[in-house]
Amino acid sequence: QKEVEQDPGPLSVPEGAIVSLNCTYSNSAFQYFMWYRQYSRKGPELLMYTYSSGNKEDGRFTAQVDKSSKYISLFIRDSQPSDSATYLCAMGSNAGNMLTFGGGTRLMVKP
Amino acid sequence: NAGVMQNPRHLVRRRGQEARLRCSPMKGHSHVYWYRQLPEEGLKFMVYLQKENIIDESGMPKERFSAEFPKEGPSILRIQQVVRGDSAAYFCASSPRAGGQEQYFGPGTRLTVT
């Protein structure tokens, strides 16, 4: 079993839809959580970073962490074709220095 | 403010040759991480370095792979005697602080071994 599970998709939605992306994890030592966006053949771009359970909002993006359920989410409001990319969740613990990534969810937003 | 820079962006090597990948962190960042992304797989941690020190190399293959981050100049990931299985995208990330949080990634180097 992988430490971080993420549905690979693809997830196809119409422009303007609300998108929900999710990850589950098994390691209770994970304390901080990140979402990255990766366009094809590009490097991952840091979108959101959270350290605690609850919600964090930044523009059209909302990150949600539920440590009791070991479940994190990224919501994208008013999705745009330019949001079409692979979204990676990543997490780390205070005991280490590495990030553990999910496999990524490919999102396609259709005009 | 320039982001993380990596070069070359594409590298082709024949089996048995050496590959050298370079990474310059963001200005003010002294923590560098290397990850590998194999086709159809997620990013996997390889090594974490601070200036002149390897802090964590738990994800690095035991043979043929080495990394350094000298006092002056970029961080280097070196792969000796490359094999076809080394073909992948190699990403460098940098962070302003220890602990692995807030890692910013470069554009990657795509290594192809023929």
Query: Residue A71 has what pLDDT?
Result: 95
% of chain A surpassing 70 pLDDT: 100
Strands A45-50 and A100-101: unpaired
Query: Residue A91 has what pLDDT?
Result: 94
> Quick check: B1 pLDDT over 60?
no
Residues in chain A with CB shorter than 8 Å from the CB of B111 are none
Best A2, A5, A35, A98 residue to mutate vs chain B (most B CBs within 10 Å): A98
Quick one: B76 exposed, middle or buried, by C-beta within 10 A (0-12, 13-18, 19+)? middle
pLDDT in tens, A33-84: 999 999 998 999 999 999 878 899 999 999 999 999 999 999 999 999 999 9
Q: Which residue of A has its CA nearest to B90?
A: A43
Q: Which of A75-79, B1-5, B98-102 has the highest mean pLDDT?
A: A75-79
Query: Residue A74 has what pLDDT?
Result: 97
Q: Where are the alpha helices (DSSP H) in chain B?
A: none
Q: How many residues does this entry show for chain B?
A: 114
- DSSP 8-state assignment for residue B96: S
Residues in chain B with CB shorter than 8 Å from the CB of A90 are 43
Contact yes or no for A46 and B48 at CB 8 A: no
Contact yes or no for B105 and A92 at CB 8 A: no
Confidence of residue A95 (pLDDT cuts 50, 70, 90): confident
> Nearest to residue A4, comparing CAs of A73, A96, A105, A101?
A101
Dmax (CA) for chain A in angstroms is 44
Query: Residue B40 has what pLDDT?
Result: 73
User: Rounded mean pLDDT of A73-98?
Assistant: 93
- Cα–Cα distance for residue pair B44/A104, rounded to 1 Å: 12
Query: Between residues A101 and B40, which one has the greater pLDDT?
Result: A101
